[in-house]
Structures are given as structure tokens and as C-alpha cells.
Structure 1
Amino acid sequence: MTAEDIKAYCLSKHKACEAYPFGKVPVCYKLNDKIFAQLYPDEGNYKITLKCTADAAQFYRMVYPDKIVEGYHCSKVQKPYWNTIYLDDFPEKELY
């Protein structure tokens, strides 16, 4: 899945927008002024951080321990709700 595919998918959400609150990277996608995805499109560091429920986040970390980790940029309080997914060789179907 390319960065353009991810961008198109995120922006297909009703009222979603793209934002750059931290500079050029990460590319953030927001709904109702809240970030739900942070894309790092650089080769060699191709990843996305997604917000989800704490239970779903933990489940995916257990299923893909080599590809999904707690949101690396998050505070301890936020970590249960964010997953960073390393996208090289990650199943596209699972990302959707």
C-alpha cells in the first residue's frame, strides 16, 4: 500500500482533512479536529500511527508483534490507544 493509497483512504472519511501540525512529517489526518492517523511516508521509515480502542490496539500488537508497537511518540497515558504499524510487508487487507 502506497502513501497515496493511505492518503486517499483517510480523506475518503466524511469530513476528514489533512494537516501538518508538527511540520512536514508526520502527515496527519483529522476528523472533528482530532488526529486519527499519522503517516510517516519516508522510505526506510515507512509507518503509520493509528488511534483505536485500547482493546483493539492490544489485540493487534499480539497478532503482529514484529510489525505493530505502541504509539512510539505517545505519552504513557496515550499509549494504550495508539498503534504504530511498520508498513513494509504489512498485509494491506489488515491495514484497512
Structure 2
Amino acid sequence: MDIESLRNYCLSKPAVEETFPFGPETLVYKVGGKIFLICSLDSEEFRFNVKCDPEKAIELRERYDCVQPGYHMNKKHWNTIVVDGTVSNSMLKEWINDSYDLIVESLPAKTREKIKGKK
């Protein structure tokens, strides 16, 4: 996965907004106004942050070297994924999906149903 395939994948999801609220070097994807993925564009290595269930976050960190506590994020709820080729693109997409779904489920019912209706 590279930055363009990450971008295309995120934008293919219903109701996703691409923003740069932290400046031109930090790409942010939101759904319902809430962040589900952050990607630094000026990092030496390609990596991104995704939200994760706290128990699963710990499990993933223990199982995969490329999964680290969320850089500059709440480490209980966020993981940083280093895209180093050690996990498949389908696994990366699964982690993005999990983050997106966690955010959608946290939205008010009316907003959530409106987004789900777009799927």
C-alpha cells in the first residue's frame, strides 16, 4: 500500500471527508466530523494512525512489529501502523475498516443511519 492507494481506499468509504486541519503535512480522514485515520506526509517511513478497540490494540501490538502505540495520540485507543510490507494490504484495509466502523458506531443514531444508508 502507498499513499495514493490509502487515499483512494479511504475516500471510497461512505461520507468520508479528507482534510488538513493540522497543516499541509498531515492528512486526516473523517466520517461524521470525527477522525478515523491520520497520515503524516513528511515522515521518513510511510505510516498512519487508526482508532482501535483497546483490547484489540494491545493484541495487535504484541502480534505485529509494524503496529505501535498511536504516535501523538491516545495510546489506549489509537495504533500507528508502519507500512513496511510485513502485513498484507488486505490486513491494512481491515484495520482501516475497523477504525472507520468504530467511529461510525460512536456517532449519534441519526447521523449513523444516514451514513449507513449511503453504503
Q: Who is 1:95 aligned against?
A: 92
Q: Please state whether the residue corresponding to 2:76 is helix, strand or coil.
A: helix
Radius of gyration: which is bigger?
Answer: 2
Q: Who is 2:35 aligned against?
A: 35
Structure 1 or 2: more helix by fraction: 2
| Stretches of structure 1 lacking an aligned partner (at least 5 in a row) | none
1:19-39 alpha-carbon deviations (Å, 9 max, x no partner): 101001220000010000001
Match of 2:77 among 72, 77, 81: 81
Contact 2:47/2:80 (8 A) holds in 1? yes
User: Number of residue pairs matched?
Assistant: 92
Give me the TM-score of the superposition, normalised by structure 1: 0.86
| Paired residues for 1:60-75 under 5 Å | 60-64=60-64, 66-74=65-73
CA distance in 2, matches of 1:50, 1:29: 10
TM-fit CA distance, 1:43? 6.1
| Stretches of structure 2 lacking an aligned partner (at least 5 in a row) | 94-119
Whichever residue aligns with residue 7 of structure 1, its letter is R
Aligned CA RMSD, in angstroms, stands at 1.4
CA distance in 2, matches of 1:94, 1:13: 17
CA distance in 1, matches of 2:56, 2:76: 9
Contact 2:2/2:46 (8 A) holds in 1? no
CA distance in 2, matches of 1:83, 1:90: 16
